[in-house]
A and B are shown apart, each in its own frame.
Chain A
Amino acid sequence: MERFRANVLMCSGTGCVASGTMKIKTALSEELKKRGLEKEIKIVLTGCNGYCAQGPVMVVYPDGIFYQSLIVEEVPKLVEEHFLKGRPYQKLMFEEPRKKIPIPTMSEIPFFKYQVLRVLRNRGLLDPESLDEYIARDGYMATAKALTQMTPEEIVKVVKDSGLRGRGGAGFPTGLKWELALKTKSDVKYVVCNGDEGDPGAFMDRSVMEADPHAVIEGMIICAKAIGSHQGYIYVRAEYPLAVKRLQIAIDQCYEAGLLGKNILGTGFNFDLKIYQGAGAFVCGEETALMRSIEGKRGMPRPRPPFPVYEGLWGKPTVLNNVETFGNIPPIILNGADWFSSLGTDRSKGTKVFALTGKVKNTGLIEVPLGTSLREIIYDIGGGIEGGEAFKAVQTGGPSGGCIPAELLDMEVDYESLALAGSIMGSGGMVVMDEDNCMVDIAKFFLSFTQAESCGKCTPCRVGTKRLLEILERITSGKGKKGDIELLEELSQDIKATSLCGLGMTAPNPVLSTIRYFRHEYEAHIKDKKCPAAICKELLTYSILEEFCNGCGACKRVCPAEAITGQRKKLHKIDSKLCIKCGTCFDVCKFKAVMKS
């Protein structure tokens, strides 16, 4: 095997690629060649590193020096300093925000320091398209152990004892699900991986599938052995083409290496695995809808019971787990139940991956022990609020979740505490919001999503979400009436109680939680016809401030409604009757002369 003096692990997750990883890679390999270093330094494209905010990022090993916000122009200098002169290049390092001191190693950077990586154990460390690299990181050791040394009952017991709960949202105990499927007698059983990450604001499953596809496959093989299944499906949403590609490469490699197919590892155990691409429907994240979709039908849920462990895909017993859940399995098999349950809270064990996004400085993917407080997540890891505004709320659990206010920042995050606060764990999206976000608008945003994604099968969800949305639209456009808040609350409770599936049962959560914590914002919209955060279009007026306007005419040129008048170098004016409140003038004015109020 070729040996290199140093390895450059360059993040090629979707986020970093969007920030320009490929250009950096080309520039770096050209520069290394120019300096005659191409045989000494190896560039490896890895999966998502997690620190999307600072992309493109790379880590140079063996020293573990972390470089961020890479730009092509700096590449020659970087090569000269780091690889020729042997001194890490400070200009591209992470800087401690207050003291402005560069922090060279990844393990010292606050964003990484507080994280505990279990599911993301291989993140940024391996080439996702290489089976050898996965094996070098103890890959498929757990499969070998499960297939050669453990009975199905023993596998189920370890998973059960670990306390692992489904990471897709509802938190059903994984071991129990497997046990039920094991005990159900059937000639055919299925293992299905739910990679239909539909929650807007969550991207951990995409990242795991793209960065460590073998970890998912391994979890599925072990599950198959535990319940006695010989056929599995990975359902991936259509919006994730890179995940599909990498999973397919990984599956092909497994067939070639004898890790999938007939007689796996010579043990006589057979398991086939196929990818099924979704076609864009949020409701397909619901298990019965997902299985219908694999069957080639409209992805509509059906009532449970019977639960899928008894009657699932094509009527056969089926275990359906989320990507992150399967990703947790191999280390549990290798290290045991006690190792897993050593982290977490009473009823929520292990770690959870969160997608930290929105108005927070360090956006990205993080993994922390369950029970970590929101404050630690948002301030210690996330670096606080971007732009210095005040924190208003954090939205967890996507469209099924709720908004948690500043008073609850010290809450320990687990399945129970989030439910108590009127939200849910969901798949682990955390969208941070500041004073510039309107909570009624957020509720409307989620309702317009769930209303559009409601499959239409049951009336409470189909009609109820529509009515909720209408009321919210009325409120945000200044036509709210006395009693609207109470009406929202009543209707929400009815929808929750009577909907068929999880989509409808949780759809009112964003409304209820924002009313619970931000009732005053609803009241301001209804009574005073004002949007305190200046977001709701119909309640805004745009005007031009005399002292800042220099008459450049930029606003006049872009105004689609021709509502702005004024001569060159003279004060411009907005005709409020013509103004359609699109905000374009506000965006283009470089002198902050356009004011919205």
Chain B
Amino acid sequence: MKEIFESILAAYKNKEGSIISLLQDVQETFGFIPEEAVDWFSKKLDIPASRFYGIATFYAQFHLKPRGKNIITACCGTACHVKGSERLINRLLIELEIPPDENTTNDRRFTVEKVACVGTCGMAPVVIINKKVYGKMTADKLVKEVKTLESKKKTDNNDHNEG
């Protein structure tokens, strides 16, 4: 892990004001901001860990907990809201059996996140599944996509078992 930290740091040597970019790189690599990363960079750069956490918790982009294998981002912008995004999300949470006040399934296969607006309002309601944008989403279409992902996971497992 240290080598990865080193390589991320190499790009930001001696630059004040690059904590955000640095954290973006950490998250890109690990999918979230691990505590070890903050400790390591804090010592290395002599910047208090609180500064890192202050930034990581301020911006919506950063996650302090590991996320699921599949990321479903539901847009909750105005256009999506008036076209019923809230009902879509409720259905999804029920379908995936995500515990209340959580956003990831217990087995960490799925994370459901809300985002303020992805700027594809002409296609509302919009859902992004693993970085692919789906427009004019309906509850049925969404459940179908999720089921496809679930079954894919199962075949992956089978392949793995056979291998």
Cβ-closest chain B residue relative to A356: B122
Q: Is the CB of B79 within 8 A of A280?
A: no
Residues of A within 8 A of B126 (CB): 18
Q: Is the CB of B82 within 8 A of A14?
A: no
Which residues of chain B in 42-71 are interfacial with respect to chain A, using CB atoms and an 8 Å cutoff? 54-55, 58-62
Residue from A238, A295, A429 in contact with B61 in the complex, judged by beta carbons closer than 8 Å: A238
The distance from the CB of A57 to the nearest CB of chain B, in whole angstroms, is: 11
B4 within 8 Å of A (CB atoms):
no
B 10-24 binary contact with A (CB < 8 Å = 1; else 0)? 000000111111011
In the assembly, what is the distance between CA of A278 and CA of B91, in Å? 31
Q: Is the CB of B24 within 8 A of A357?
A: no
In the assembly, what is the distance between CA of A295 and CA of B135, in Å? 36
Q: Is the CB of A363 within 8 A of B124?
A: yes
Cβ-closest chain B residue relative to A560: B94
The distance from the CB of B6 to the nearest CB of chain A, in whole angstroms, is: 20
20 contacts between A and B (CB under 8 A): A14-B119, A18-B133, A18-B134, A198-B117, A200-B77, A200-B80, A277-B24, A279-B59, A279-B61, A293-B20, A295-B17, A296-B17, A298-B54, A358-B82, A449-B116, A453-B116, A582-B91, A584-B139, A587-B140, A588-B140
Residue from B87, B117, B140 in contact with A239 in the complex, judged by beta carbons closer than 8 Å: B117
Known: A200-B77, A202-B119, A358-B83. 10 other contacts (CB 8 A): A15-B122, A18-B134, A200-B79, A202-B117, A203-B120, A278-B61, A279-B20, A281-B58, A293-B20, A583-B90
Q: Is the CB of A14 within 8 A of B19?
A: no
Residues of B within 8 A of A201 (CB): 77-79, 117, 121
Residues of B within 8 A of A364 (CB): 122
B 69-107 binary contact with A (CB < 8 Å = 1; else 0)? 000000011111111000100110010000000000000
Please give me the 10 A-B residue pairs with the lowest Cβ-Cβ distance, nearest first: A52-B122, A296-B17, A200-B77, A280-B60, A279-B59, A203-B119, A200-B117, A201-B78, A357-B79, A280-B61
Residues of B within 8 A of A499 (CB): none
The distance from the CB of B76 to the nearest CB of chain A, in whole angstroms, is: 7
Residue from A200, A206, A240, A280 in contact with B59 in the complex, judged by beta carbons closer than 8 Å: A280
Residue from B60, B77, B87, B117 in contact with A583 in the complex, judged by beta carbons closer than 8 Å: B87
Q: Is the CB of A296 within 8 A of B119?
A: no
Cβ-closest chain A residue relative to B115: A239
Q: Is the CB of A395 within 8 A of B120?
A: no
Residues of A within 8 A of B23 (CB): 279
Residues of A within 8 A of B18 (CB): 296
Cβ-closest chain B residue relative to A448: B76
Which residues of chain A in 32-63 are interfacial with respect to chain B, using CB atoms and an 8 Å cutoff? 52-53, 55
A 1-29 binary contact with B (CB < 8 Å = 1; else 0)? 00000000000001101110000000000
Residues of A within 8 A of B16 (CB): 295-296
Which residues of chain A in 167-184 are interfacial with respect to chain B, using CB atoms and an 8 Å cutoff? none
Q: Is the CB of B58 within 8 A of A18?
A: no
A414 within 8 Å of B (CB atoms):
no
The distance from the CB of A295 to the nearest CB of chain B, in whole angstroms, is: 5
A199 within 8 Å of B (CB atoms):
yes
Q: Is the CB of A357 within 8 A of B90?
A: no
B9 within 8 Å of A (CB atoms):
no
Q: Is the CB of A279 within 8 A of B24?
A: yes
Residues of B within 8 A of A365 (CB): 122
User: What's the dominant secondary structure at chain A's contact region?
Assistant: mixed
The distance from the CB of B136 to the nearest CB of chain A, in whole angstroms, is: 8
In the assembly, what is the distance between CA of A489 and CA of B44, in Å? 52
In the assembly, what is the distance between CA of A588 and CA of B87, in Å? 12
Q: Is the CB of B82 within 8 A of A359?
A: yes
A197 within 8 Å of B (CB atoms):
yes
Residue from A279, A358, A584 in contact with B60 in the complex, judged by beta carbons closer than 8 Å: A279
Cβ-closest chain A residue relative to B122: A52
Residues of A within 8 A of B139 (CB): 584, 587-588
Q: Is the CB of B91 within 8 A of A19?
A: no
Residue from B20, B120, B140 in contact with A18 in the complex, judged by beta carbons closer than 8 Å: B120
Binding site for A on B (CB under 8 A): 16-21, 23-24, 54-55, 58-62, 76-83, 87, 90-91, 94, 115-124, 126, 132-135, 139-140
CB < 8 Å A-B pair total: 155
Binding site for B on A (CB under 8 A): 14-15, 17-19, 52-53, 55, 197-203, 206-207, 238-240, 277-282, 293-299, 355-359, 363-365, 395, 398, 429, 431, 433, 437, 442, 445-446, 449, 453, 455, 560, 582-584, 587-588
In the assembly, what is the distance between CA of A280 and CA of B61, in Å? 5
In the assembly, what is the distance between CA of A292 and CA of B82, in Å? 33
Residues of A within 8 A of B120 (CB): 14-15, 18, 52, 203
Cβ-closest chain A residue relative to B75: A200
The distance from the CB of B56 to the nearest CB of chain A, in whole angstroms, is: 9
Q: Is the CB of B77 within 8 A of A298?
A: no
The distance from the CB of A18 to the nearest CB of chain B, in whole angstroms, is: 4
Residue of B80, B82, B135 ringed by the most chain A CB atoms within 10 A: B82
In the assembly, what is the distance between CA of A446 and CA of B123, in Å? 20
Q: Is the CB of A53 within 8 A of B117?
A: no
Residues of B within 8 A of A202 (CB): 117, 119, 121
Residue from A296, A429, A453 in contact with B20 in the complex, judged by beta carbons closer than 8 Å: A296
In the assembly, what is the distance between CA of A53 and CA of B124, in Å? 9
Q: Is the CB of A239 within 8 A of B119?
A: yes
The distance from the CB of B12 to the nearest CB of chain A, in whole angstroms, is: 10
Residues of B within 8 A of A198 (CB): 116-117
Q: Is the CB of B90 within 8 A of A582?
A: yes
In the assembly, what is the distance between CA of A318 and CA of B15, in Å? 21
In the assembly, what is the distance between CA of A455 and CA of B19, in Å? 19
The distance from the CB of B65 to the nearest CB of chain A, in whole angstroms, is: 16
The distance from the CB of A259 to the nearest CB of chain B, in whole angstroms, is: 25
In the assembly, what is the distance between CA of A14 and CA of B119, in Å? 9
Q: Is the CB of A200 within 8 A of B122?
A: no
Residues of B within 8 A of A357 (CB): 78-79, 121-122, 124
Q: Assess A297 versus B55: contact at CB under 8 Å? Given A200-B116, A583-B90, A584-B91.
A: yes
Residues of B within 8 A of A207 (CB): 119
In the assembly, what is the distance between CA of A17 and CA of B123, in Å? 11
Residues of A within 8 A of B24 (CB): 238, 277, 279
Q: Is the CB of B133 within 8 A of A203?
A: no
